[in-house]
């Protein structure tokens, strides 16, 4: 299922999230949409929590859409604002995991304080041409299958 990102569609988003197997958050890469993206991401975390889920434990990927536009924010800024990561407390998950989509970056890593951090896999996309869309779907599908098996 898909739902619009605007905050005033919150009731629709909540209904769709009930019983979700996986989530893809599609962010609008335009600089002027950054605040709206942040608000929508927080809204997603809140809505998932209302159903007793933890978004850090649900198959979850992020797609940075509209990468072809001249006013697209740098991916590093999008990652810092929308996908900074969360603490990993399970010892079996505390191992460095390179991010295949971003050479030199990590999905799981240890910070100097000793804390382990993990972030959602993210893909750049241009939905109107289809670029990056299948890659995002493939990523979240693999995560869903892994969570079921």
State the 10-residue block means of pLDDT for the chain, 149 residues long: 66 82 96 95 92 92 98 98 96 94 93 96 98 97 94
What pLDDT sits at residue 98? 96
Instruction: State which H helix or E strand residue 85 sits in.
Output: none
- pLDDT on residue 30: 98
Structural domain for 51, as ranges = 7-84+120-148
So what's the pLDDT on residue 132?
A: 97
d(CA 34, CA 82): 9
Structure tokens at 17: 């999230």
Q: Same structural domain for residues 53 and 43?
A: yes
CA–CA separation, 82 and 62 (whole Å): 9
In the prediction, which pLDDT does 72 show? 99
Residues 50 and 93 in one domain: no
DSSP class of residue 58 equals: S
């Amino acid at each position: 299922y898909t739902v619009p990102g605007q905050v005033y569609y919150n009731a629709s988003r909540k209904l769709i999230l009930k019983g979700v197997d996986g989530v893809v958050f599609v962010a609008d890469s335009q600089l002027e949409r950054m605040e709206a993206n942040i608000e929508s991401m927080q809204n997603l975390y809140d809505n998932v929590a209302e159903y007793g889920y933890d978004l850090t434990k649900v198959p979850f990927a992020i797609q940075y859409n509209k990468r072809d536009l001249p006013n697209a924010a740098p991916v590093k800024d999008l990652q810092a604002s929308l996908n900074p990561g969360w603490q990993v407390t399970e010892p079996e998950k505390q191992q460095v995991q390179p991010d295949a989509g971003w050479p030199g970056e990590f999905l799981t890593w240890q910070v100097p304080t000793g804390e382990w951090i993990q972030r959602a896999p993210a893909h750049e996309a241009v939905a109107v041409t289809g670029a990056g869309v299948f890659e995002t779907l493939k990523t979240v599908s693999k995560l869903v299958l892994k969570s079921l098996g």
